Structure 1
Amino acid sequence: MKNKLLKWKENDWNIPEEVNKYELALELMENLKSTDPVLRDRLSLNCLWRIIYLDMLSKREANNLLELALSEEHLFHKLGSMEDDSVFNRAFTALTIHAIINYHNNKLEETGEATLSKEVIIEALDKVMEFFKKEKDVRGYVDVKGWAHSVAHTGDALASFAESIELDKEHMIDILKGVREKVSIDYYVYKNEEAERITTAIMNISNRDDIKDEDIIEWIRSFSEIEQPEEHPNYHYFRENVKNFLRSVYFRFKIKGVNLAILNEIEDVLNKINERFNEFI
């Protein structure tokens, strides 16, 4: 399979017509479990995305692929385990879900044709949010084996869900709450720009007509209400994660040119967290 994919890639991903694209997609899903970063990331994921985005699947096949991605075999495979190879399957499945939702959004906007039903999208979001909450292996880059990046990849998926017109304000609030919980973990320090990938989802939420500035301000304020761990190094891990994330949100909002009340709220929360260092100004 690797040699075949390399050949197709060298030929500008020209997949032979006789190849059944859905059966190929199923094979590629299996490759997402691989610890070979070239096979998993550069070849299988890229090929899978082309199959999805270039409309090579029927509506039924796209729905079946999403159902498989959300199953115990992929997104929920060994969920809760830490620092084993199962994370690659889960993390790259999250990117596959991102692609399917994004494809649906784009096609709906361009043609008015829905690939997925509202019920399917809501169920998919519920499962992704469950995964996001329960995923414990949040490593970014793993030596030799390449990217795991489960949190960043889920951030990409949430960014696609945030653009779904089938979802409403309540779903967006759930995403905001889930993000707050995930970025404030105290057992690991995010160091591979996870904050930026998640911030894109926040920006997409803020762009929606059903989300008001007051909703974003209330969510930002809620970060100051999180109980900080007392023990070390967890105390530092928590603070570093929250501060880095809020800084990412701050500068993205600033570039966008939002209501100053949003920026002021972020500053207030950051200053409260950073109070003991602000004494040295």
Structure 2
Amino acid sequence: MKEIQAVMQQLDAVRNALIKGDIYQSIPEKILVIMDSVQYKPRRTHIVVPDDHEAVLKRIAAIDARIKTAGKKATISDAELDDLLVHIASPDPLVRDKGVFYLFNRLLRQTVLTPAQLIWVKDRLLQDDYLFAHILEPENDAVFLRSFSVMFLAGILYANRTFYHVFSEAELLAIERRIMTYAIVELDLRGYVDGKGWAHAMTHIINVWSELNEAEEIQRADKILMLAVVLQAYRFSDNALAYGEDSHLTNVLISLMNKHQLYVDYCLVILQEWQRALLTMSPQDTIAFWNRWYNRNRFLQSLLVQPELPEKIATYLRKISDLF
């Protein structure tokens, strides 16, 4: 996908400039430039989704029962794994949420996957036809495949950090690069979709971000870059992020800031730039404008009530609290 490659190349340029020390405070503005450069398509193309709902639920139940019975000796074949991944594209919440997702979590908790399988699943989920499926098109059901690819990556990162320890620094950076690209390009940040269950892409992005923040292999410059990308993706969402995204973002942000003063300082840079932009903005009679306005309000209010909020951030928020 040329458009996706162009975004990644622009991200690489920003990262290189940051590491060299050529830029710092302007990173959020440069992320916005990348977001504005994405060319979306005016029409949807045909989306292929699994339609064997009853059959796959039986297969999932059979695997689940086998895993429970086998305990530490449990295994899963590559073909079965492939079948599970195919079905995260299902718009049926019984298949995707309560079927594949629950079973995959069990596989990770019991370390059923071999190290080779963990790497294979990670590579599969990062592919364009999973992570970026139909992403440049108007709102569509492929969001479930994209978003759950991100969610499963968060689980894989946790399993790697806790049990497997097989991903190299290069692999972790490759995941970060593609998830930042996803966060920049994804416009469909719906929470709960009536009749189809959770899409929740922003929450899943934050989950991956949280795991990458725990990776000691990733240097601070990369963590600052992803901090800026996630906050810009949240800030410029046209969707109402009213399904717990604000508190989840707050919790992960505070956890990051508690790791080093550098993250506190950079969070303040972003908040100050956000505030300056707000003061020059005229209200618009659009749902996107008011969704962004109240997304910000919920996020800042959630930050302000956190007992572990760094005092530097708390002081600034109290100073501007009459504007949210």
Return the TM-score normalized by structure 2.
0.74
What's the RMSD between the two structures over aligned residues? 2.4
The answer to whether structure 1 residue 224 and structure 2 residue 275 are counterparts is yes
Shift of 1:231: 2.2
The aligned amino acid for 1:69 is L
> Hey, what does 1:31 align to over in structure 2?
87
The answer to whether the 8 Å contact 1:31/1:44 transfers is yes
Which range moves more in the overlay, 56-65 or 165-174? 56-65
Alpha carbons 2:187, 2:237 under 8 Å: kept:
no
Alignment match, 1:249: 303
| TM-superposed deviation, 1:230 | 4.2
Q: Greater relative contact order (Cα 8 A, min sep 6): structure 1 or 2?
A: 2
Q: Is the 8 A contact 2:134 2:142 kept in 1?
A: yes
Amino acid at match of 2:265: E
- Structure 1, unpaired ranges of 5+: 108-112, 275-281
Kept in 2: contact 1:95–1:157 (CA 8 A)? yes
**1:131 positional shift:** 0.2
Contact 1:13 1:47 in 2 (8 A): no
Report what 1:70 is aligned to. Answer: 126
Secondary structure of 1:191's aligned partner: coil
Output the CA distance in 2 between the equivalents of 1:84 and 1:223.
30
Match of 1:168 in 2: 219
Which of residues 135, 138, 144 in structure 1 aligns to 2:189? 138
Equivalence map 1:1-281=2 (5 Å): 1-7=56-62, 9=64, 13-14=68-69, 20-107=76-163, 114-185=165-236, 187-209=238-260, 211-226=262-277, 228=281, 230-233=283-286, 234-251=288-305, 254-256=306-308, 258-271=309-322, 273-274=323-324
Which runs of no fewer than 5 residues in structure 2 stay unpaired?
Answer: 1-55
Q: Structure 1 residue 69: deviation in Å?
A: 0.5
**Percent same amino acid at aligned positions?**
17
Q: Cα 1:56–1:215, aligned 2, differ >3 Å: closer, same or farther?
A: same
Q: Post-superposition shift, 1:14? A: 4.0
Structure 2: distance between partners of 1:27 and 1:229: 50
Distance 2:61 2:268 in 1: 48
Structure 2 CA distance for aligned equivalents of residues 150 and 68 of structure 1: 18
Q: How many Å separate the matches in 1 of 2:165 and 2:134?
A: 32
Q: What is the CA distance between 1:186 and its match in structure 2?
A: 5.5
> C-alpha distance in 2, partners of 1:219/1:78?
31
How many residues end up aligned between the 2 structures?
Answer: 265
Structure 1: distance between partners of 2:99 and 2:282? 42
* CA distance in structure 2 between the partners assigned to 1:149 and 1:163 by the alignment: 22
The more displaced of 127-136 and 51-60 is 51-60
Q: Once the two structures are superposed, what CA deviation does each residue of 1:10-62 show, in whole Å capped at 9, x if it has no partner?
A: 68844696863433222111110001101101110111122233222222221
Q: Distance in 1 between matches of 2:138 and 2:202?
A: 13
TM-score, normalised with respect to structure 1: 0.85
Amino acid at match of 1:45: F
